[in-house]
Amino acid sequence: MTTNSSMALQESTLAQIDAAVRSAVDINDQWAASSPAARSALLRELASALEADRERLVGIANEESFLGTARLNGELDRTAFQLRAFADAVDAGEPFAVIDDEAVPGAPPAGHPRLLRVNVPLGPVAMFSASNFPFAFSVLGGDTASALAAGCPVVVKAHPAHPGLSNAVFELALAAAQRSGAPAGVLSMVSGASREVGVHLVRHADIAAVAFTGSYVGGMALQKEINARPRPIPFFGELGSINPIIALPAALETRGAELAATLAASIAQGCGQFCTSPGVLIAYDNAVTDAFVSQLAAAMDSQNTHAMLSPGIRNAFNEGVARLNRHPAAKRVTTGEQNGEKHPVPNLVLLDTGAFLRDHALREEIFGPSCVVVKVKSSEQLLQVLAAIGGSLTVTVWGAEGNDAETMSIVRGAIRIAGRVLFNGVPTGVAVTRAQHHGGPFPSSTQPQTTSVGLMAMQRFLRPVALQEAPAWLAGRGGIPL
């Protein structure tokens, strides 16, 4: 759907979805073969357009998300930064990188013909917007920016939690694309809260890849549909995480009060609606940990939260917290009571370690300001807890300064299950850099070797091709696809 606001706020029909994909297909070859200057011009124009309309966009976003103008202004800044960062990468020639293995005379294996390894765009990408980042993971977020930089047109699936903002940003983007000289079908949008809209989009024969940020249930439903296609396609799904914090004794003994305040603020940040929100604290069962848990509970009780993104998310949080708190292995240590007429109350629960290891339900993400504490008897049990958690976007290890065998084994265990391992601070907040990796082993993401944040996100939408003894006219294109 590429027209007016009233249409974008409605449930897209199957014919409108087909038309959006068709517009992407019609210009796919043109955009794939576009020059670095053309791609970076579009990305920079999109960034400038967001900034120029900041006041109006932030106002709409705040009405729909309740995230506050300070947070939303920062998120708009990040979105513009992402767009320009990918423009810089395009100008530097990154999507067009060529590996040139010159011919070597003689018999194989030493001898071989000339081979050029180049990258080609996958084709039209279906991008599912996220609820919790209405700018940075939405219409012009990192998935859209990286796909456009790679030379792929994008069909955005707007998130129903912020339809007004999605429509406003999309219309702004259309005008920016026209100013930059990009083809009209480089960006399209469909909308609707029904399952049918998303399913029809990912089933479409001309969609070449899907990028998704959302729940495990929603992501797995899309993965099933994609796998059932006659020709399955890549599904880059970021499905959430419980992001364990490992607090080793050395850290708690020296910085316990400071770390308790920092962790409490991280758990409550954005009302806990971050994919990197800490959901598990793992610490040794001793008096130092007991004191820290008391400090953490008090700090969480003092946190102020705001309304959650949608009634559905709030209901799911209430149900998840109630289920956790009534578990026979759980002991709640925060004092505030949930009240549906007020903002959510941060929730901290002590869990029996054996129950945590046995009961998968205790390891499921609760999307909101909730965290569980697991006290372990040994490093071996700590590693068992990490293994039970499985794939995670992040693991944080406090107090790992020593290089003794026990610390090394814990860090090794953290690296085994996480896409990003922190040794200081908290996991909320993901820098947009070249070295960043926002992904992780399943179930945190479906493609653990790829990232949805940072400049390497562009590689998801590029496919390598080896050109053997290419004619001069083709080799002379410098990696720009046909």
- The contacts of residue 4 (CB under 8 Å, 6+ apart) are none
d(CA 365, CA 207): 30
d(CA 316, CA 100): 53
Half-sphere exposure (Cβ direction) of 379: Cα atoms closer than 13 Å: 15
Cβ atoms of 334 and 359 within 8 Å: the answer is no
d(CA 281, CA 295): 13
d(CA 113, CA 468): 7
Residue of 152, 271, 275, 371 with catalytic role:
275
Is 275 catalytic? The answer is: yes
d(CA 20, CA 106): 52
What b/e sequence results for 294-327 when a residue is b if at least 16 CB atoms lie within 10 Å of its CB, and e otherwise? ebbbbbbeebebbebbbeebbebbbebbeebeeb
Cβ atoms of 167 and 192 within 8 Å: the answer is no
Among candidate residues 213, 277, 219, the one with its CA nearest the CA of residue 243:
277
Is 371 catalytic? The answer is: no
Residue of 238, 271, 365, 371 with catalytic role:
238
What are the structure tokens assigned to 127, written together? Answer: 């991008």
Residues annotated as catalytic are 238, 275
